[in-house]
């Protein structure tokens, strides 16, 4: 039993970490390449029309999270299910389950931090800019932001 743990636990941890890193990279690339460029088609229009309508350079935070109707989550699930389907046939069941749990946790963390980033008085609210604005954007980028009513 001990030898099994010594051999397999690092493999499961490596699978979970690799899954998170790949998910983060894929979400970042899709957001940048499809969400900010017209080649993204509907993904681009949904992202620009909703998310950037509420959150743009001069107002990155609001009192509540706005724009749930402009959700691009289904676009992220398309490649996820394609990769997951292939992994199901290639990986042992334990590693596949680890990959599924790692993907779900990574995606949830992305959504959670996006909402925390854009909502005043939650999560990052203790990071203040020099103007007293409760926005981690002031801390991270050194910019000042307006807070929507």
Query: How far is 141 from 130, CA to CA, in rounded Å?
Result: 12
Read off the pLDDT of residues 3-49 as tens digits, 9 standing for 90 and up: 776 788 899 999 999 999 998 888 888 888 888 888 888 888 888 88
Confidence at 134, pLDDT banded by 50, 70, 90: very low
Are the CB atoms for 16 and 104 separated by under 8 Å?
A: no
Is 148 in a helix, a strand, or coil? strand
Predicted pLDDT at 68: 63
Q: What is the pLDDT of residue 149?
A: 44
Burial of 122 (0-12, 13-18, 19+ CB in 10 A): middle
Mean pLDDT of the chain: 76
Is this prediction's pTM over 0.85? Answer: no
Cβ atoms 72, 43 nearer than 8 A:
yes
């Amino acid at each position: 039993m001990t030898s099994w743990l010594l051999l397999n636990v690092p493999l499961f941890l490596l699978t979970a970490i690799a899954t998170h890193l790949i998910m983060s990279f894929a979400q970042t690339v899709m957001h940048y390449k499809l969400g900010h460029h017209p080649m993204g088609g509907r993904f681009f229009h949904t992202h620009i029309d909703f998310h950037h309508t509420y959150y743009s350079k001069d107002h990155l935070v609001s009192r509540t999270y706005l724009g749930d109707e402009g959700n691009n989550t289904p676009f992220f699930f398309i490649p996820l299910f394609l990769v997951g389907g292939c992994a199901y046939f290639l990986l042992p069941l334990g590693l596949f389950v680890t990959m599924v749990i790692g993907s779900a946790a990574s995606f949830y963390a992305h959504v959670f931090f996006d909402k925390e980033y854009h909502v005043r008085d939650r999560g990052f609210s203790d990071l203040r800019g020099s103007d007293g604005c409760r926005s981690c954007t002031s801390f991270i980028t050194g910019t000042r932001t307006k807070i929507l009513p």
